[in-house]
Chain A
Amino acid sequence: MFYREAGDFKTSYREDSQTFPIKFDRYRYYAVLLVALAVVPFFIDSYWANALLVPFLIYAIAAIGLNILTGYCGQVSLGTGGFMAVGAYACYKLMTAFPDVNILLHIIAAGGITAAVGVLFGLPSLRIKGFYLAVATLAAQFFLIWLFNKVPWFYNYSASGQISAPERTVFGIAVTGPHTEAWAKYLVCLLFVAVLAWVARNLTRGSIGRSWMAIRDMDIAAEIIGVNPLKAKLTAFAVSSFYIGIAGALFFAVYLGAVEVGEAFGIQKSFLILFMIIIGGLGSIFGSFAGAAFLVLLPVLLKNVLVGTLGWPTDLAAHIELMIVGALIIVFLIAEPHGLAQLWRIAKEKLRLWPFPH
């Protein structure tokens, strides 16, 4: 009914192994891209950009990054907040040191710096696994936050220890600073999300992604069949940190404009992003988006319904919101331990067969 696959023949291997083999899915993907790129920017206002879409897109990048490390390569990390901070501070130092260079290059360079730091903190993963690795990355989280608080060079010796993004433009249009239009913010983030998600998808189904998954599923077996664990683990850390660094740079420069390291990139952020990929689905690009949407958009939606529509007191709404989100997390994970992505997969299977499941 929904999926008409009659007549959708594949005549080459290339067609057979494309990301969206079903025609309907493929057109829906193009339609989403088209709406996001060509329709939303004309209607977006600053509330939609700053409160909903920009944070959603940035968290989606961070979630994809963590998913590469944890979901695809099986290395648990609690250092996401710290790595985002590296991206943010790298971007800040580059922005202020080289004001004439394009900000987009700074953001990519911030990702590169974060990748180097990520590899450094990924070295212990060659010796330790599981909970022990989680503790090692937790140390990275606390060390990096402490470092950015302690060394004034990182925040250019400002009195408050805050970093704030000066105005930078792309083709004459401000993308950071207070005078940024909503659509410009949104488009910059969308651009990064679209490219990075596309790269991630293609990395994870290529040979490098397969070596990550081999390490995840059983590292000794992977080593025996010829996967180099050093290379696989460190590339996973590098690529993952690159994504997280870009997310951190966008989070600071485009979304908030001023951050304080302990508040914005504390341990809660690491947990938040870990929860996103657990709820969304480990080892799934779509799951990263679904998890980010669930944890970013749902609380705002609940707040608007409870306070805006029903007129409840704000404190009551804030407490109820925590309970509802918490309960939904439990319900979803009981219904489907593999996350929203798996729910979506099952729903799709059913829809393909519907209305004649046998």
Chain B
Amino acid sequence: MKLKLASVAIGALLAASPALADLVFPDLSYRTGPFAAGGIPFSDGYQDYFTLVNERDGGIGGVKARVIECETAYNTEKGVECYEATKGQGALLYQPLSTGITYQLIPKVSADKIPLHTMGYGRTSAANGRVFEWVFNYPANYWDAASVTINYLLDENGGSLEGKKIALLYHNSAYGKEPIPTLEALAQKHGYTLTLIPVDSPGQEQKSQWLQIRRERPDFVVMWGWGVMNQVAVQEAANIRFPMENFIGNWWSGAEHDVTPAGMAANGYKSLNMNRVADYPVFEDIRTHVVAKGKAAGDGSNVGKVLYTRGMYAAMLAVEAAKKAQEIHGTADINAAMMRDGMEALEMTDELMASLGAPGIGPEFGVTCEDHGGSGMGIVQQWNAAEGKWVALTDYIAPDRDVIAPLIEGDSMAFAAENNLSLRCD
């Protein structure tokens, strides 16, 4: 029985082996499980952009991109299986869209020398390129998000948060715990009190947490949620009539599907975003070259949504980094190490974004050997339930790098010491 299983599995593996000489971008997606609501549009956007580049431009520098999708269900064991299954196929870049899987992969990609891009999630201190050679988290990270939120609240409150009460409602996991050190450091600086309210994964049960919020009456609730947790939190906030304009999610808690279940009651809910949502010309290209030809990863209904845009933006950054790598090394057929060089030399300017058909989709930023973190800027957007769309309230807000930089330095140096890493870029 075991032998038979093994031989069938070998057959399956062999059959799945690749034709070489494509640029391979594994997509560790999740279209099942409690986090699928966010995983599906992101993965659709990520894959559709590569398909667009293949269909419209004939690939990246003339070489076709190939996306291998692997279902992780946001589960680390399946994530490991997906990583092992795809890494031998010439994978250039991993993008797991899960902080748990990211922590899993950071040592592995460093040993296997494959770059890992965790855009606005994952391990924040990976922004320090001197320690983390293979990990990138541009254009922004969690600590930036925490600081942008506080800066926005400062702005709203006339420059002072003295004596205010802020509650952090977070997913009780590595993801949700990430912003705590920054929010605590900022609490000391700005004099607000921080209440920590964890929600156990997946987050369908939040009655007691919102009872606590009702009792303690914080001035603001900041949320670090993902998947089904967001929808439940917005609904619960509506149930206790918490003023929605004082409820701010991070950029993983601000998509259409998070607010639509609560209907009109969700009106006024705010969230961060690291990319602007607009009707970019590139979506028209995707509709004609990808969706109309029946090559879309999903059914095409997600085009233009918040997380679809972000997935597409992630793919756009990957494609630009690949182009950069081809330019640096003078070959179209790049490998993972060359891809890393391309990522480290990535320069996103307004002209470049406009030429890609997505003007102003993200902030301008450049990546260097020392800094893998990008500019860290984010916008604040608000849900307009009547029109059913997110409205940007602000331009890009800069984070408080004076507070974040020492935290990143401390955490990454601790990692370097733990793992006996020598520093780069000197």
Question: How far apart are A345's CB and chain B's nearest CB, in angstroms?
Answer: 14
Q: How far is the CA of A305 from the CA of B7 in the complex (A)?
A: 12
- Among A45-53, A77-85, A192-200, the stretch that binds chain B is A45-53
Check B70–A159 contact: CB distance below 8 A.
no
Contact B107 A177 (CB under 8 A): yes
Closest chain B residue, CB of each to CB of A51: B81
Q: Mark B147-181, 1 if CB is under 8 A from A, else 0.
A: 00000000000000000000000001110011011
Name the CB-closest residue of A to B420: A167
CB of A262 within 8 A of CB of B111, answer: no
Q: Which residues of A contact B177 (CB under 8 A)?
A: 159-161
Q: Which of these binds chain A: B12-20, B250-258, B274-282?
A: B12-20
Q: How far is the CB of B301 from chain A (nearest CB, A)?
A: 15
B88 part of interface (Cβ distance < 8 Å): yes
Alpha-carbon separation in the docked complex, A218 to B98 (Å) = 49
Bound Cα distance A161, B196 (Å): 15
List the B residue with the shortest CB-CB distance to A259.
Answer: B76
Question: Chain A 272-308, CB within 8 Å of chain B: the 1/0 string?
Answer: 0000000000000000000001000110110111011
What is the bound-complex CA distance between A101 and B172, given in angstroms? 33
Given A159-B178, A177-B107, answer yes or no on A308-B13 (Cβ-Cβ < 8 Å). yes
- Asked if B77 is at the interface (CB within 8 A of a chain A CB), the reply is yes
A41 on interface, CB distance cutoff 8 Å: no
Chain A residues with CB below 8 A from B31, complex form: 314-315, 318
Is A162 close to B, CB under 8 A?
Answer: yes
Contact between chains at A50 and B76 (CB < 8 Å):
no
B108 CB–A CB distance under 8 Å: yes
* A260 and B103 form a contact (CB under 8 A): yes
B174 and A161 within 8 A (CB):
yes
Known contacts A159-B411, A260-B103, A318-B31; is-contact A305 B12 (Cβ 8 Å): yes
> What chain A residues lie within 8 Å of B100 (beta carbons)?
162, 260, 263
Q: Which of A47, A50, A260, A297 contacts B174 (CB 8 A)?
A: A260
A90 to chain B, nearest CB (A): 19
Instruction: Tell me if A258 counts as interface (CB < 8 A to partner B).
Output: yes
Interface of B is mostly: helix
| B71, A304: Cβ atoms closer than 8 Å | no
Partner of A159, one of B84, B88, B180, B198: B180
A329 at the interface (CB under 8 A from B): no
- What is the CB-to-nearest-CB distance from A319 to chain B, in angstroms, rounded to a whole number? 6
* Minimum distance in angstroms from B81 CB to a CB of chain A: 4
Determine how close the nearest CB of chain B comes to the CB of A335; give it in whole angstroms: 15
In the docked arrangement, what's the CA distance between A179 and B419, Å? 12
The reply on B200 being an interface residue by CB < 8 A is yes
Nearest CB in chain B: distance from A183 CB, A: 15
A169 at the interface (CB under 8 A from B): no
**Are B13 and A304 in contact, with the CB atoms below 8 A?**
yes
Q: State the Cβ distance, A186 to closest chain B Cβ, in Å.
A: 13
* CB-CB under 8 A for A258 and B103, given A47-B85, A301-B5, A314-B31: yes
Name the contact of A260 in the complex, choosing from B80, B173, B181, B418 (C-beta under 8 A).
Answer: B173
Interface residues of A in 209-268 (CB under 8 A from B): 255-260, 262-264, 266
Residue B110 at the chain A interface, CB threshold 8 Å: yes
Name the B residues within 8 Å of A159 (CB-CB). Answer: 124-125, 177-178, 180-181, 411
Q: Are B178 and A309 in contact (CB under 8 A)?
A: no
Nearest A residue to B98 by beta-carbon distance?
Answer: A263
Q: Cβ of A256 and Cβ of B201 under 8 Å apart?
A: no
Choice from A161, A166, A297, A315 contacting B32 with Cβ under 8 Å: A315
Docked Cα-Cα span, A51 to B83, in Å, equals 9
Asked if A166 and B173 sit within 8 Å, CB to CB, the answer is no
Tell me whether B418 and A309 are in contact (CB under 8 A).
Answer: no
The interface bits of chain B over 1-37 (1 if a CB of A lies within 8 angstroms of the residue's CB, else 0) are 0100100110111011000000000000101100010
Given A293-B2, A318-B71: A258 and B107 within 8 A (CB)? yes
A46 contacts which chain B residues (CB < 8 A)?
84
Q: Which residues of B contact A315 (CB under 8 A)?
A: 31-32, 36, 40, 71
B331 at interface, CB cutoff 8 A: no
Q: How far is the CA of A263 from the CA of B162 in the complex (A)?
A: 37
Residues on A with beta carbons closer than 8 Å to the beta carbon of B70:
307, 314
Report how far A52 CA is from B110 CA in the complex, Å.
Answer: 22
Let me know if A342 is at the binding interface, CB within 8 A: no
Task: Specify which chain B residues have a CB less than 8 angstroms from the CB of A318 in the assembled complex.
Answer: 31-32, 71, 73
Tell me the smallest distance from the CB of A290 to a CB of chain B, in Å. 8
Residue B69 interfacial (CB < 8 Å): yes
Contacts of B178 in A (CB 8 A): 159-160
Contact at A47–B172, with CB atoms within 8 Å? no
A260 near B8 with CB under 8 A, answer no
CA distance A293 to B3 in the complex (A): 12
**A55 at interface, CB cutoff 8 A:** yes
Residues of B within 8 A of A162 (CB): 100, 103, 174
Does A317 lie within 8 Å of B71, measured CB to CB?
A: yes
Question: Are B76 and A260 interface neighbours, CB within 8 A?
Answer: yes
- What 18 new A-B contacts, CB under 8 Å, besides A256-B77, A263-B75? A47-B13, A47-B85, A51-B80, A160-B123, A160-B177, A161-B177, A179-B111, A264-B76, A264-B77, A300-B9, A304-B13, A307-B70, A308-B12, A309-B11, A309-B16, A315-B32, A315-B40, A318-B32
Binding site for B on A (CB under 8 A): 45-47, 50-52, 55, 149, 159-162, 164, 166-167, 177-179, 255-260, 262-264, 266, 293, 297-298, 300-301, 303-305, 307-309, 313-315, 317-319
12 contacts between A and B (CB under 8 A): A159-B181, A167-B419, A178-B107, A258-B104, A262-B172, A263-B75, A263-B76, A301-B12, A304-B13, A308-B15, A309-B16, A315-B32
